[in-house]
Structure 1
């Protein structure tokens, strides 16, 4: 048998370590499985494949022969071999033929467009549409996940009940025209809907840490694909607009009345399909993006710390500026989550992990300033729905970041495994959904629907 290099030996060791933790596998069976894996790797190398390629093909063959290898591949879905390893277990996992999915996705995308177009016709383009926009698009995205994951009737019912309750609240509550509670409800409802979409995405296995991390990874990759689709669509639309304008044709009515209502929601379904179909492509981009944007975000946060000084004091900070700072602060846990989802949990602590700790500490400093500014404004000008909602969000962020910093320090000092940090990030996600539900359900009656 050909001698294997250090990196390949490390990959095999990680595979063996995972399988060894399965209590049903005896040492003798484990040795036999490892021997078979090594034979497969050696055979693939003789065909001209490099070490990485030989290991990918070998682990796939092991997945076909043994359910443990398949489970290993699924548990470590953040690694490059995800698409190569997952193999059919039966009719449920085999999925539909590719041509059928190519028919389902455009149909759901068009359905989302029809729903938004109908909403524009019946609700207009005002506050009512803003409250219901997520409700119009969510069923089609959830339907794609339900079709893809073969959701059980129990899981489907668990999605319908909160969706229906949210729809009733958003349309029955007597919101005051242009009131704060209506705007807050419209902004927080998508958070609830997205977490419901996460339940559909994980096939109802929301208690699984690894499945929740898969959804975090999916969310980041979806944002990338949706942005790329939006940029490409904007370029094509701009060129078409310029060409027709040069020919004396006014394209703007068609753009506003038909193209945008169909393209914007439909692209979300298409982007979800692209993430599912081409995950390994984005997983190569994810580590690069996180390493580029982490230092840039640190620089931005440090700049934000100087804002109160430039404004003349915490009480004098402009309200719109506080909202902008809050929006930037929300991006930090999003970036942190995506960075963690793109990291190999078995790798030792390194420089980038220390950089992430700096990011969290800088975010904590900004959050402390924001909380102080909010409390100062509440003490001076009184409370309001917007102020209480922002205060609650910043308190959530404070708890999230403090615990993340503590676990990151423990990992850098090699006193805690990286999985502890992973678990904290995903297990805290429902807290944001719970707060969004409080804002949507409790704030309007508490503040007189003003």
Structure 2
């Protein structure tokens, strides 16, 4: 066993990054119980030999480690698995998102390519704004506007990703047909949207459920485009989860800045006697809303390396806060009287909180390095999942009590189904997380469970949109 290469780079300040990479690789291999310690040492020596040879050929530390891992991936299954899970991340750092001053990378990496991409995106944003403006002008029915707006905006975002990723024509046609069929269904359904002339007229619950669930189905279809049709890939699904979280961050920042500018403009114009409100409602909002979405998507795509540094910070800040909030909710529900007296609006709010917690869990997992060993943050996530399960169990019990007392309605069945889906998702995620912190499972199993369960939410949303209206008489 040759240990000469081992001492050429080990524990030297100039190669600290390389040693960190090799430490991650060593930890990954040692977690495979079938590999004995001497075999790990022999594999590490071979890896170091490969790295040293590549460094002599002129590669830097990151490039040499990446190529060496790829080469070892051809020798055995364990190294191949590490290469697939780890070096893909290195390729992103080295190839997909190079330093802007180098002018290397894909066509979008050049100044001309970036301006061209931004031009395409702005053209799509304007087109989405025109479509939304036509919708707002053609009807005064708020429910109709809310129901159709996602079908007029999200396809343009999907068009941006289809153009950027050169989506195959057959896949694009199939996705367009699916979105078009769903739009045709919701527009042909005789929903009870109330009387636009009567502000106190109640809107039917099935149209409200369709307004809430149709965007979920469309967003998952956009995810297929984002993954360039490779929706079965766990890595691409997790990339889309990460993109969604980062998009929300950018949208929040854009919304805060936009509200500040609109408020200042409104105040200045009102002082000189100009009414800004008609322009705001008739022109600015129809173009600003899809424009903000498109620009936020472009920013996420253009500045991935920056936001990936923000993601772990956000996850670590909000995970303990969310866990404390759920514990407080659980105590309040248990001490707030009998479950049959729980208010319906409170149950709806609890569902919204559970969805936020679930998304926080997904975002935290997407921001974590799967090769890092278990730490205090993983125990915090386990506490978060346990608290969410407890709250979900109480909410389910309260819903079943209300259904037994008052009967089935569309909103009760939709909430019950969502809570059951959440219960399964969180319970299995908790089991996998517990196995990981105890050292009996890898983090990859937890990550894959999250991504492979996502289509369940899309399927349930599709059922609510398509099947619930006729089942409950469109009321």
Q: What TM-score range do you get, normalising by the shorter chain?
A: 0.7 to 0.9
Residue aligning to 1:257: 282
Q: How far apart, CA to CA, are the structure 1 residues paired with 2:372 and 2:28?
A: 14
Q: 2:311 aligns with which of 282, 286, 305?
A: 286
Aligned pairs for 1:224-239 (under 5 A) are: 224-239=249-264
Q: 2:120 aligns with which of 86, 96, 104?
A: 104
Q: 1:8 aligns with which of 18, 30, 39?
A: 18
Q: How far apart, CA to CA, are the structure 1 residues paired with 2:90 and 2:242?
A: 13
Q: 1:34 aligns with which of 42, 51, 56?
A: 51
Note the C-alpha offset of 1:306. Answer: 2.9
Note the C-alpha offset of 1:10. Answer: 2.7
Q: How far apart, CA to CA, are the structure 2 residues paired with 1:282 and 1:77?
A: 20
SS at match of 2:372: coil
Gaps in structure 2 of 5+ consecutive residues:
1-7, 33-42, 75-80, 99-104, 194-202
Aligned pairs for 1:108-123 (under 5 A) are: 108-123=124-139
Note the C-alpha offset of 1:274. Answer: 0.5
Note the C-alpha offset of 1:252. Answer: 1.2
Residue aligning to 2:142: 126
* Structure 1 residues 289 and 17: CA distance shift in structure 2, 3 A: closer
SS at match of 2:371: coil
* Structure 1 residues 258 and 149: CA distance shift in structure 2, 3 A: same
- 1:183 matched to 2:193? The reply is no
- 1:442 matched to 2:454? The reply is no
SS at match of 1:428: helix
Whose radius of gyration is greater, 1 or 2?
Answer: 2
Q: 2:221 aligns with which of 179, 183, 196?
A: 196
TM-score, normalisation: structure 1: 0.87
- 1:213 matched to 2:238? The reply is yes
- 1:138 matched to 2:154? The reply is yes
- 1:397 matched to 2:397? The reply is no
Aligned pairs for 1:37-436 (under 5 A) are: 37-39=54-56, 55=61, 76=86, 82-86=92-96, 94-96=106-108, 97-177=113-193, 178-436=203-461
Q: How far apart, CA to CA, are the structure 2 residues paired with 1:392 and 1:417?
A: 30
Note the C-alpha offset of 1:37. Answer: 4.5
Q: Is the 8 A contact 2:51 2:64 kept in 1?
A: no
Note the C-alpha offset of 1:16. Answer: 9.1
Note the C-alpha offset of 1:83. Answer: 4.2
CA-based RMSD: 3.1
Q: How far apart, CA to CA, are the structure 2 residues paired with 1:281 and 1:396?
A: 34
Q: How far apart, CA to CA, are the structure 2 residues paired with 1:15 and 1:218?
A: 27
Note the C-alpha offset of 1:127. Answer: 1.0
Note the C-alpha offset of 1:230. Answer: 0.7
* Structure 1 residues 199 and 95: CA distance shift in structure 2, 3 A: farther
Q: How far apart, CA to CA, are the structure 2 residues paired with 1:111 and 1:412?
A: 49
Residue aligning to 1:51: none
SS at match of 1:306: helix
Q: How far apart, CA to CA, are the structure 1 residues paired with 2:269 and 2:257?
A: 18
Note the C-alpha offset of 1:386. Answer: 0.2
Q: Which 10-residue stretch deviates more, 431-440 or 168-177?
A: 168-177
Note the C-alpha offset of 1:60. Answer: 8.6
Residue aligning to 2:37: none
* Structure 1 residues 312 and 57: CA distance shift in structure 2, 3 A: same
* Structure 1 residues 60 and 348: CA distance shift in structure 2, 3 A: closer
Q: How far apart, CA to CA, are the structure 2 residues paired with 1:397 and 1:2?
A: 48
Please give the per-residue CA displacement for 1:211-231, whole angstroms capped at 9, x wherever unaligned.
111111111111101111111
Q: Is the 8 A contact 2:370 2:443 kept in 1?
A: yes
Q: How far apart, CA to CA, are the structure 1 residues paired with 2:84 and 2:256?
A: 33
Residue aligning to 2:38: none
Residue aligning to 2:102: none
Gaps in structure 1 of 5+ consecutive residues:
22-26, 45-53
Q: Is the 8 A contact 1:60 1:85 kept in 2?
A: no
* Structure 1 residues 17 and 304: CA distance shift in structure 2, 3 A: closer
Please give the per-residue CA displacement for 1:311-358, whole angstroms capped at 9, x wherever unaligned.
421111111111111100111110000000000000000000000000
Q: How far apart, CA to CA, are the structure 1 residues paired with 2:84 and 2:170?
A: 24
Note the C-alpha offset of 1:299. Answer: 1.3
Note the C-alpha offset of 1:31. Answer: 6.5
* Structure 1 residues 205 and 16: CA distance shift in structure 2, 3 A: farther
The number of aligned residues is 428
